[in-house]
Structure 1
Amino acid sequence: MSSYLELTARERIRRLFDEGTFREFMPPAERVISPHLAQLDLAVSFDDGVIVGRGTMDGRPVFGAAQEGGFLGGAVGEVHGAKLVGLLQRAVDEQAYGVLLLVESGGVRLHEANAGLIAVSEVMRAILDTRAAGIPVVALIGGANGCFGGMGIAARCTNAIVMSEEGRLGMSGPEVIETTHGVEEFDSRDRALVWRTTGGKHRYLLGDCQALVADDIAAFRQAAMQALSASRQRTIGLTLPDLEAEQATLERRLHDHGGESEPLQIWRRLGFAEPHTIPMLEADEFVRLAAGHRAGEEQ
């Protein structure tokens, strides 16, 4: 099987690294579980829904974490978050070449309330600390649950994001938006609309992700290595000019597209004459189209 979407978290991370090199920290045999779920008489997982470890990519030492969307939707709790933070801190201690975060999460584990919220905030701080230490952090998003909530913010704290069309990225998930603002605001049952709004192609066109790849583990591996290499050639840590540039981008986006209610309208505004064809394009064809469009704008 080569589909990133269909692999489990453990299968994904093992196949991203050089064959046979990934070594898991705190594996299921150690039975480190959430104490909060047990108190609520809920099912637990012996890895608490996240695999963390170290291996090599093209011979270079890389640390990695993969959230398991099949357990509580990849949601972050106290132990889950502590494993992510510990991984990032160890990557700094050992001066790793980079860190990969295979994100698949709906956000905070509501069962754990404040413990989950604190955990996500600590993950964000650890990502920024890792970058400040000169180690790039790259997020990969291609799982069925997408990347939302606190982990959506955490992903945007990384140096680069790699997505497939099947991946989704946002702050509030479609169901949350519909629940709080009504179906007129966002119909979570309209799957085509959901993917147009939060999927990889839209995020790529808006600049929220730096690479769009096919749903293939080899494509994710290649893009991850390229993203780590490219990040190391730039300033890795987050700087004030970076924040100011991001703020300016968001202001322009709101000014240019704040009145649109549909991604198709935004794509047309961006200059694509036939925006309705974009969802049907294969990843490579779409990237070529987007690259040609950007080249035309720069001329």
Structure 2
Amino acid sequence: MENSFVELNGRDRAKALFDHGTARELVGPLDNLYSPHLMPQGIVPESDDGIILMKGQIKGLDSVVISMEGAFQGGGIGEVGGAKIVAALEQTLKDNQNGHKEYPIIVFDTGGVRLQEANYGLLSISEIQNMIIALKKYVPVIGVVPGRVGAFGGMSITSAMMSYLIATDEARVALNGPEVIEQEAGVREFDSSDKNLIWNTLGTKQRAATGLVDEIVDDDVDLIKDAIVAAIQEKKDSHRTENVDFYLSLLKDIDFNQPMDTEEYRKLFPTVKAGNHHIAEAQKSTTAKDKSRGRLWFEKLTGIENAESEVSTVLHATVDGKEFIAIVPDTQNKRFPRVRAGEVGLMEGFTVAKIVNQVIEEDQDKEQKRPIVCIVDVPSQAYGYKEELIGINVALASSAAAYAKARQAGHPVIDFIPGDAVSGGFLAHGLQSNRMIALGDDSITIQAMSKASAARITLRTIEELEEATKHVPAMAYDVFNYTKLGALYKRIDSIKSWDASDKNVARIQKEIDAAIDSTKGQPTDLSYRYTNEIAVNEGRVATLKMRKAVEDQWNN
């Protein structure tokens, strides 16, 4: 097709957006900063790690374009490429803070986390999201989803945070790909061989009609440029992650035990009126609840026995000046069967967002901001057809964005991880924290995807996947290898996940208080993860090299 944007590769897409002769690539192929984690797995790396970064002008506007190459590892985000994106957005933020208007555009062509670098991908995506939330205070952050791969996984959560999201008819946007839903929930939940079902549900016509995409543009370079410029000049912002009350009202109108197709949802969506929602604190009860490590520690740290809430899977309470939040199982959950084991779904994402936004609002005029303690025990995000139809990526984006805003406003956000921290569930509830404290327990899983799904997506057997983890700590599933990445503030080996004795609870309370104190006078960003001793010497060496390269070339 003449003047097609979709048919271009990632580099040519970036070049095509700029005015003639103004584009300058930073940290390109000749700089040879590639991922060090692929060769040990027998995978040939790319010298730009599949992320193209350019500066120039678009219709005379100083702009930064970040473009993903979907042909390399499905556009997956790993350590080096992720660091390039984060560093570019950080430099763009600095320019805008210094009075130089500069507009960031992200071209999505990605399956999300690069599973061959799993936990590096999750960390990078959370760091990208943090920068987007910071930048939106100054300029619109524009997203473009051309097609081919689309925007999936954790990067679909990122796409939901954009000020304005433009797509062509050939694009798809979803948190969970159909193959992953089929693997995790069965073919009856989502048949990955049904192409019509996939496009009708995840394609941009449906997404635009239901608020997940803001504008559909024909596949033409000039039309896409015009749409980007209009979005910048008109300061377009859908405030997608702020529409929490709307979605909480919408969820009340849907029976998740009854079938719903795309047409029914398209008819329902515009009729919903946003009500005012307030999420009350958890209360003590006399009825025993489903056990989980997250619930156990929430109850012990807050002193609320058999804690219950109007949203059965989300507990929160302010105790001793700290706001505690946990996501917990409810095996009898009749309305949302896909979250019975403690997964993070639609209701969980929007409810946590509402709670955190309440805290921000209540403390906005206070000099001392309330610390927020995330008790993390999330086995994954929810895998379900209705979850994708409605937009679980928006639910998780709303939660992550709220945590990021709270931290940037001065609320210390502290993770305590006594249980699993997996995939989109971790992005939504945990990865926007200043500090992470984890128990050193073999039963804890920290990862981007279950082994079965990761093996299927990467075309490996589970045995081959486990062998690869011996060479790349970021692919491992245990907290001990996770420590090597430098992400943790502290790992406590003397306390096990289910051992919430009075002595151990007192110890954890002290550790949380120490983590809060460590944030005083420190940046409210996520830089601790790549500036601590483990990160500098081992875990984030490649990140720091890329950050320096971007900084050195930014104004040269």
Q: TM-score, normalised by structure 2?
A: 0.45
1:249 aligned residue: 246
**Equivalent AA in structure 2 for residue 212 of structure 1:** I
2:51 aligned residue: 50
Aligned partner of residue 245 in structure 2, secondary structure: helix
User: 2:95–2:102: 8 Å Cα contact kept in structure 1?
Assistant: no
2:140 aligned residue: 136
Q: Distance in 2 between matches of 1:263 and 1:103?
A: 24
Q: Distance in 2 between matches of 1:54 and 1:131?
A: 19
1:5 aligned residue: 6
2:113 aligned residue: 108
Higher share in helix: 1
Aligned partner of residue 144 in structure 2, secondary structure: strand
User: 2:11–2:52: 8 Å Cα contact kept in structure 1?
Assistant: yes
User: 1:92–1:130: 8 Å Cα contact kept in structure 2?
Assistant: yes
Q: How much has 1:183 moved relative to structure 2?
A: 1.4
**Equivalent AA in structure 2 for residue 186 of structure 1:** F
For the pair 1:98 / 2:98, whether they are aligned, the reply is no
Deviations 1:178-235 (A, max 9, x none): 1111111111222221111111111111111211111222221111111112227x7x
Gaps of 5+ in 2: 271-556
Structure 2 residue corresponding to 1:203, chosen from 187, 202, 207: 207
Q: Runs of at least 4 residues of structure 1 off by over 6 A?
A: none
Report the more deviating stretch, 99-108 or 184-193: 184-193
Aligned partner of residue 101 in structure 1, secondary structure: strand
Aligned partner of residue 231 in structure 1, secondary structure: coil
1:258–1:44 Cα change, 3 Å: farther
Q: Distance in 1 between matches of 2:16 and 2:80?
A: 25
Cα RMSD (Å) = 2.1
1:290 aligned residue: none
Structure 2 residue corresponding to 1:230, chosen from 234, 241, 245: 234
Highest Rg: 1 or 2? Answer: 2
Gaps of 5+ in 1: 272-299
Q: How much has 1:135 moved relative to structure 2?
A: 2.2
Aligned partner of residue 52 in structure 1, secondary structure: strand
User: 2:34–2:46: 8 Å Cα contact kept in structure 1?
Assistant: yes
For the pair 1:72 / 2:76, whether they are aligned, the reply is no
Deviations 1:60-116 (A, max 9, x none): 101110000000000000001001001101112222431100011111011112111
User: 2:142–2:164: 8 Å Cα contact kept in structure 1?
Assistant: yes
Q: How much has 1:122 moved relative to structure 2?
A: 0.7
Q: How much has 1:16 moved relative to structure 2?
A: 1.1
Q: Distance in 2 between matches of 1:31 and 1:257?
A: 51
User: 1:92–1:135: 8 Å Cα contact kept in structure 2?
Assistant: no
User: 1:163–1:211: 8 Å Cα contact kept in structure 2?
Assistant: yes
2:17 aligned residue: 16
User: 1:53–1:87: 8 Å Cα contact kept in structure 2?
Assistant: no
Q: How much has 1:258 moved relative to structure 2?
A: 5.0
1:160 aligned residue: 164
Aligned identity (percent) is: 33
**Equivalent AA in structure 2 for residue 151 of structure 1:** M
User: 2:210–2:266: 8 Å Cα contact kept in structure 1?
Assistant: no
Deviations 1:255-276 (A, max 9, x none): 44555432123234468xxxxx
User: 2:104–2:141: 8 Å Cα contact kept in structure 1?
Assistant: yes
Aligned partner of residue 260 in structure 2, secondary structure: coil
Aligned partner of residue 176 in structure 2, secondary structure: coil
Aligned partner of residue 136 in structure 1, secondary structure: coil
Aligned partner of residue 174 in structure 2, secondary structure: coil
Q: Distance in 2 between matches of 1:157 and 1:258?
A: 27
Q: Distance in 2 between matches of 1:62 and 1:230?
A: 16
Aligned partner of residue 61 in structure 1, secondary structure: strand
1:153–1:80 Cα change, 3 Å: same
1:212 aligned residue: 216
Deviations 1:227-264 (A, max 9, x none): 112227x7x9x7xxx75x51122223334455543212
1:4–1:256 Cα change, 3 Å: farther
For the pair 1:185 / 2:194, whether they are aligned, the reply is no
Q: TM-score, normalised by structure 1?
A: 0.83
Q: Distance in 1 between matches of 2:60 and 2:24?
A: 14
